[in-house]
Structure 1
Amino acid sequence: MQQELSEYLENAFSLTDTDLTYGDGLTGSARLSGALSTFLNAYFRPHRPVLSDHLFIGAGVMSLLDQVVSVLADPGDGVLISVPYYPGFDPCITLHNGVVPVGAQVPLDKMLTLGELDYLEDALRAATRRGVSVKAVLLCNPHNPLARCYPREVVEAYCQFCERHGLHLLADEPFYSVLALDADRLGVNPARLHVLYGMSKDFLANGLRAAVLVSQANPDVLQSLLPAAPFMVVASPTAVLWATLLEDKSFLTAFLAENSRRLFAAYERTAAWLAFHGIPHAPASAGHFLLADFRPVLVDVARYGAALTIHAGHTLEERERALATHLLARGVAVMPGTACHLTEGGWFRLTFALREEQMRVAFRRIEDALGWDNWQPRRSDIGPHL
């Protein structure tokens, strides 16, 4: 969909004299703020309408997360997050702030269930014993790298967990939203709830660097971000492009629907390819990637040892790194699960949000690198919607 989006934006792009200045201010243009509030109210179905005053716009989710953490926590404090998690969160928490990621090691079969909260409780108690004062919890929904959405009852349990322990909830979410919850009914102070949303996932535009923080009941947090605004202001051309897209309801509706359809087809194609080669994966239902279990390759030293330069004395994590290096040398980049802090070696995050011809090239390169037979897709493997 990137080609279609780039063509649309190229044709619709138009700057005014004001766009060449600081415009309405450093926290986001009035036009983009209005377009975002309308979009969030339409698609996130918030319990309380989102107003422009609830928004702080910045140059990407990572920039906003970095600054929000600096507001909520001091050096040496902690941010609690279930493991595995996207490794890009680490520098947002630690690099400028000296804040500690507190990982809750959750078995994969307990992830995205109410049982996950038990492991958060354990990790919080352990951090307290170590002298780490946890100030916030980070929730990524859909989960990255598992690519599944949290059920409503688990999101509610996250909110109540934060209220019980006096913590803020930072929700990075393009799908089911904390905004849709009735905080009063849950007994949760809405001032603890903050949502981050960017262009990267739904709009395939991580290169444009634009995102929004929604904090409906905590103006102090928004005010505290003002000194950092000059360092993460969204460039006027990017703001114009995002606002233009959000304001065009007809194109937006069609674009989101078609993107969803193509993502599902790409997922089914990748899942069928993995199944053909005997590689299990964690079922995915949201996002542009999946988590695949390459242990059948890594434990078969007799077959793959020479190609990967591994032997029986290597740990699974060492073999995982060897496979990632082997594939990268052949033009395919995959993310090892250990990068996501998985303690169980052998998993890889595979991104499939590419054009079909690009994915076929990637499949063929992996097959050649591992000496596999070439997969030929059948319509029954993928479904009737292609």
Structure 2
Amino acid sequence: MAVSGVLTRVLFKILLMGLGYEIFAAAVMAWNSVQQNGSLKKLNSVGKPVLSGRGANFVEDLRKPSDFGYNASLYDKLSNPEGIIKLATAENSLLNTELLEYFNTHFRLTASHLKYRSSLVDGHENSTEDILPPYYTTYFKPRVPIRPEHCVHADGIGSLLAQIFWTFCEAGDGVLMSTPYYDSYPRDIVYPAQAKVVPAYVPADVDSLSKESIPYLRKELENSANKIRVIMLCNPHNPLANAYPEEMMIEYAKLAQEFNVHLLVDEVYGLQVFSSRYVPNPTPFKSILSIELPFSIDLSRIHVVLGPTKDFGSSGLKLGSLISQNNPDLLTSVRRAVQAVPTSSATDALFTAVLGDVEFREWFLEENRNRLRVAFEKVGDWCTFHKLPFVPASAGVFFIVDLEPVLPHAGTPYERAVKGFEQMRDMGVYLVPTSISEDPVGTRYRMTFTLPPETMSLALRRIEKAFGLERWPGLADVD
């Protein structure tokens, strides 16, 4: 009985403890509910979380409707033959087959490629850090050989430009470019530096690559409401697709010295100058690093961005370089900033192989120029047949064509160009006017001519259909 009594008392205490726990738990839940409701009321009274003013303005700009949108998926001969063909993107497919064959037989990864960038670069494997300086020295012929300490490499020129402008510019400072200019430069000028594009408007009857354009640059340097920190140009020019004469590069350098600004030159198309029936003797490309500049010019203000991916028709393999041989502070800033966006190890392995193979790269670069000639002569002949004015190209993968003779006649030049864009888009071709590049001729377009030949022929056929043009006999039998 004694044992039974003890057990009874223990069980009774356990029961009380259980009831107490349930009561306690219910009380806690009630208290939490009160607190939560109060917190929700506080949250509701505070409002939604917000972006910074800078971020909100950026998003607002990105959400502005574009006159040049499209919803169709891209063309593929087998999987999507009715898809849209993009002639507005500077991609070169003329040697894709040969390059893929080389990459697929020479691609080699090691354990070092699986590690962080620093482990690859500081290790015992060759990398683009080793290959690129002598490659640039060989082909761009600088006065002073390019050494690793002169360079910063990243996942493309755009990433480098964004950090260069951030390093040079306070918010609201200006970057001066003559018109027309590459339409994606503003993206890298504005974000993240919050700098401003300052166009030097060159009239349509003045050659932007000639000395006659210098007064328009000078005017902006003297009168711009934004403090100009950088003059930028692309040599060979994008979108005019020709190289600057050497004397013009010297004039730009003199201007930068006179107004105490930096001169930044994009030389990404430097190895793609070609001759053709339309330009039998093209202006040769000369890197700003190879030119004997006047002694009065401070070389710490001269900088170049460039890279091998355009030369090898592989824009999707992101690799670009900044070269500044006399400004270590710029290199220190940009090098630190681009650590978050390094070249991928796969891209590094591919280009270490192809650039290190002197025989293959020599053949490839020469063959690329040959195929550029053939491809451009084809589109030049097409334009001539249809009596469409165009700027003969001698560098790069695109050219400027004026569709004014076939555009709808009502409205301003811009409105006519938009209508023309819509007609081509509806027929399956994406081609945008160079008015987005501040082109003074509002009815011109930048057309890429380096698609696979059969695809290029199909795109030209579709343009003929869009405007009701006669079929040019020189195209392949495609529809």
Q: TM-score, normalised by structure 1?
A: 0.90
SS in structure 1 opposite 2:127? helix
Contact 2:265 2:288 survives alignment (8 Å): yes
Q: What whole-Å deviation, never above 9, does each CA across 1:82-122 have from its counterpart, x for those lacking one? A: 11001110100012111001100112432111112111001
Aligned counterpart for 2:445 among listed residues 345, 348, 366: 348
The 10-residue stretch of structure 1 (234-243 or 249-258) with the greater mean CA deviation from structure 2: 234-243
Q: From 163, 177, 185, give the equivalent of 2:287.
A: 177
Which secondary structure state, in structure 2, belongs to the residue aligned with residue 139 of structure 1?
strand
Contact 1:27–1:57, Cα closer than 8 Å, also in 2: no
The amino acid of 1:367's aligned partner reads: E
Partner residue, 1:37: 133
In the TM superposition, what whole-angstrom CA distance separates every residue of 1:325-365 from its partner, at most 9, and x where no partner exists?
22122221112111111133100111001121111101111
Within 1, Cα distance between the matches of 2:202 and 2:460? Answer: 31
Q: Which residue of 2 aligns with 1:368?
A: 465
Q: Which runs of 5+ in 2 are unaligned?
A: 1-94, 271-285
> 3-state DSSP class of the match of 1:335?
coil
Which residue of the partner structure matches residue 342 of structure 2?
233
Paired residues of 1:194 and 1:214 also in contact (CA < 8 A): yes
Residue 116 (1) aligns with residue 213 (2)? yes
SS at structure 2 position matched to 1:206: coil
Residue 468 of structure 2 is aligned to residue 358 of structure 1: no
1:22-69 deviation line (CA, Å, top 9, x unaligned)? 143698996212211111111001001100111100111111001100
Aligned positions of 1:154-303 closer than 5 A: 154-174=248-268, 175=270, 176-183=286-293, 185-298=294-407, 301=409
Residue aligned with 2:474, SS: coil
1:336 to 419, 433, 446: 433
Q: Does the CA-based 8 Å contact 1:280-1:293 persist in structure 2?
A: yes
Query: Which residue among 70, 73, 85 is the counterpart of 2:166?
Result: 70
Amino acid at match of 2:292: D
Q: 1:26 & 1:338 partners in 2: Cα distance?
A: 44
Structure 1 segment 18-57 matched on structure 2, within 5 A: 18-24=112-118, 31-57=127-153
Letter of the 2:110 counterpart = T
2:104 corresponds in structure 1 to 10
CA distance in 1, matches of 2:242, 2:295: 24
- Which amino acid counterpart does residue 173 of structure 1 have in structure 2? E
> Higher mean Cα deviation, 257-266 or 3-12?
3-12
Query: Separation in 1 of the partners of 2:424 and 2:354?
Result: 37
In structure 1, C-alpha distance between the alignment counterparts of 2:126 and 2:300, rounded to whole Å = 24
Q: Distance in 1 between matches of 2:405 and 2:223?
A: 35
- What displacement does 1:186 show? 4.3
Correspondences of 1:88-99 after superposition (within 5 Å): 88-99=184-195
**TM-score w.r.t. length of structure 2:** 0.73
Match of 1:316 in 2: 413
| Aligned equivalents of 1:339, 1:249: Cα separation in 2 | 40
1:273 & 1:329 partners in 2: Cα distance?
Answer: 21
Of structures 1 and 2, the larger Rg is shown by: 2
Offset at 1:316? 1.4
Q: How many angstroms apart in 2 are the aligned matches of 1:194 and 1:292?
A: 31
Q: Which amino acid aligns with 2:312?
A: F
Is the 8 Å Cα contact of residues 172 and 195 (structure 1) preserved in structure 2? yes
Q: How far apart in 2 are the matches of 1:35 and 1:283?
A: 34
Residue 182 of structure 1 deviates from its aligned partner by 2.5
Shift of the 192–55 alpha-carbon distance from structure 1 to 2, 3 Å rule, reads same
Partner of 2:238: 144
**Measured at CA, do residues 164 and 30 of structure 1 come closer, stay the same or move farther in structure 2, by a change above 3 Å?**
farther
Aligned 8 A contact 2:423 2:467 in 1: no
Report how many residues are paired: 362
Distance 2:120 2:214 in 1: 38
Deviation at 1:247, TM superposition (A): 0.5
- The 1:143–1:27 alpha-carbon spacing in structure 2 relative to 1, beyond 3 Å, is farther
For residues 231-271 of structure 1, what are the alpha-carbon distances to aligned partners after superposition, in whole Å with 9 as ceiling and x for unaligned?
Answer: 22111111111111110000000000000000111111001
Q: Following the alignment from structure 1 to structure 2, what is the Cα–Cα distance between the partners of residues 165 and 290?
A: 33
